[in-house]
Structure 1
Amino acid sequence: MRWLVLAFALLAAPARGELATLRPFAVVDDAVVRLSDLFDNAGPRAAVVLGPAPAPGGRQVIETAQIAAIARANGIAWRPVGGGERVVLERPGRQLSRDEIVLALRGALRGQGLEEEAELEIQAFAPPMVPERAFVQLAVEGAVLDLPGARFAATLAIVAEGMPTQRVRLAGRVVATVPVLVATRRLALGEVMRAQDVRQARIPAGRLRPGSAQEPEQVVGQALRRPAAADQPIMLADLSTPLAIERGQTVTMIYDIPGMALTAQGRAMEGAPRGASLPVMNLVSRVVVEAQVVGPGRVRVGSLR
């Protein structure tokens, strides 16, 4: 009876290889694919290297026949059920940014006369992929700068853990840039501009519109004649001296009379900035006179009428 129980227990217990199950999808962080990337509970051979991993950011599909062959070669007791089994391997990656590459190029071209303000335009730029969390080093080889023709060429060597060294040929042109003032936020009609409302940016010289503000002194203290959008260039034609007096505003009229200081209340018939002239109606006599704006709410009249 005890032999019978033991035999039943042996038949009921799965073999060691039968514990492995296929992983239909796996993320590979290493430069190689291991047996454990294909099977769960692969046993003592789980760390066996099967081959190179997909390129960073890429994927690889292993079909049923190849999976079965790998299982047999490594003593994994696995058999396809429907014949459509597959494993999709993906390897995380990130694109090198244009800024990273341009920074390396600038370092190599600076010694050949590249100006700090110049912009580098890389032709047919396709950002190379590198492993997602790898430490990356960039080296520029054979850099050539043709200043008269405004062209450059170089080879970018990309060294990163978990991938072979890549070499990418780069070529492009050098673009001269000029300063331009842009709004730091949306500015409303009539708003008087402050230093913090603008910042200086650089754009290609060919894109500079005539009449663009380029220095803070040109705009600070000026009022907007039309709204300005954030990060858009400020046009000098859209600026005016802010009004010291608004149309219809009650003002103090100061009369210039030798030996006397005479004031009266008036109403501005137009708006005007400091120093400009405007018609003002005396609220007592109802006479309209020409006056000069001397400050907010104050005008000077040449003589008493």
Structure 2
Amino acid sequence: MHALRQIPSVRPVRVATVSAATVGRVLLAVLAFSLLIGQVLAEEAPVLRLRGDVTARGDVLTLGDLVEGASAEVQRHPLFRAPALGATGTIQARRIADAVAALGLGEIETGGRVQVSVLRAARRVTQPEIEAALKRALETHHGLDARNLAVRLDGEAPVLLAPVTLDGPAAALDVSYDPRSRRIAALVTLGERQASLRVTGQVLEIREVAILGRALNRGEAVTAGDITVERRPREATPADAQGAQGNLAGQVAQRGLGAGAILRSGDLAPPDVVTRGEAVTIVFDAPGLNLSLRGVANESGRLGAAITVTNPVSKKILSAAVIGPGRVSVGPAPAARQASAALDLPTLQR
């Protein structure tokens, strides 16, 4: 007889229904795992990207100047020399990529750029600042008043290029000045002669002059808006040029004047307050005596001007000074002349 073998019992397979919640949990787990893996990979291999056009502030371009995404320690690694002060240069993108690869940092993303433009930053010391340094030296070492000086530098407008870290004022050293020819030569420097430029020029004495802003006809009055004050080299202005001092507004042109003209003594004068043929009051004023009568002006005159008037009664012509609109004075005068003047005024009334 054969022994009977036990028939193993077979457990039925349970099939579970997949729900939406289960699918969601699985997807979230996969997403979290992917993010974790991405973060680990990013930490291990940072993405390096080529920067755009850059401005260099020093002599050397570091990896951090040209590439972003590197660690702080790697960013300080020097790669290329910067252009000269104020100049612009270019670097091919492939050369930057080769330099980065040589450091074992892998590839960089260029963003399609073929080259990078590099501008070397510089401080530009221009002509006004150079002239100011020269004038300070002339005032300190030669006793000249810098406010009344100008310096005309030789050649084209000079420019001193210096590193941007040199932020102090420019100074003039080794100054040579000839008072007779007014020639000057100096070395303009920044810092401890870290940047320098030798210049030469002519020192000019400056004065303020009044400039007419519009054309005037003879007898036309000038207004405050017609006059501007400009600083001009003394050698290029007339000796009798009107300065900034004095009130010229209200005065009248003594001749035709063109726009832009430098006003000179005699170009303008106060307006006439007495006109020729005008009836005027003639005043004789002396200690203890005050007389007046009507007369006729033979000439026009401004305040203080000497004119002649006619006494209509005696028909005598008297010399008088204009003392106001329609008023002239024939005294006081020395004693001998006072008596003569009194005799010529028989009709004066007290």
Name the TM tier (shorter chain): 0.5 to 0.7
The equivalent residue for 1:299 is 327
* Match status 1:127 vs 2:159: yes
1:144 alignment partner in structure 2: 176
Q: CA deviation at 1:98?
A: 2.6
Relative to 1, partners in 2 of residues 1:63 and 1:278: Cα closer, same or farther, differing over 3 Å? farther
3-state secondary structure, aligned to 2:191: strand
Query: How many pairs does the alignment contain?
Result: 283
In the TM superposition, what are the counterparts of 1:270-285 in structure 2 within 5 Å?
A: 272-274=301-303, 275=305, 277=307
Return the offset for 1:78.
Answer: 0.7
Native 8 Å contact 2:186 2:199 kept in 1 = yes
Alignment map for 1:92-111 (pairs within 5 Å): 92-109=121-138
**Percent identity of the aligned residues?**
17
Which protein has greater RCO, CA pairs closer than 8 Å, 6+ apart?
Answer: 1
* 2:233 aligned partner, one-letter code: I
How many Å separate the matches in 2 of 1:14 and 1:227? Answer: 86
> Any stretches of 5+ residues in structure 2 without a counterpart?
1-25, 311-316, 330-343
Q: Give per-residue Cα distances to partners, 1:156-202, cap 9 Å, x unaligned.
A: 33228xxx922322222334x253423598898513679xx776845
SS, match of residue 100 in structure 2: helix
Q: Deviations over 1:232-273 (max 9, x none)?
A: 74333431232325799xx87425699975569x9x999642
Give me the whole-angstrom Cα distance separating, in 2, the residues matched to 1:222 and 1:158: 51
State which of 249, 263, 277 in structure 2 corresponds to 1:234. Answer: 263
Structure with greater proportional strand content: 1
Q: Secondary structure at the match of 1:236?
A: coil
- 2:108 is matched with 78
Partner of residue 43, structure 1: 71
Q: Look up the SS of the partner of 1:70 in the other structure.
A: helix
Match of 1:286 in 2: none
**Alignment CA distance shift 1:9-1:100 (3 Å):** closer
Structure 1 consecutive aligned stretches of length 4 or more whose deviation exceeds 6 Å: 1-5, 11-14, 184-188, 226-230, 256-260, 268-271, 289-293, 301-304
Partners of 1:158 and 1:24 lie apart in 2 by 32
- Alpha-carbon separation, structure 1, partners of 2:39 and 2:132: 65
Q: Report Cα offsets for 1:52-83 as digits up to 9, x if no partner.
A: 5444433332222222123213415315465x
Residues 1:19 and 2:14 aligned together: no
Secondary structure of the residue aligned to 1:181 is: strand
Give the structure with higher Rg (CA). 2
Give the one of 245, 251, 254 matched to 2:281.
254
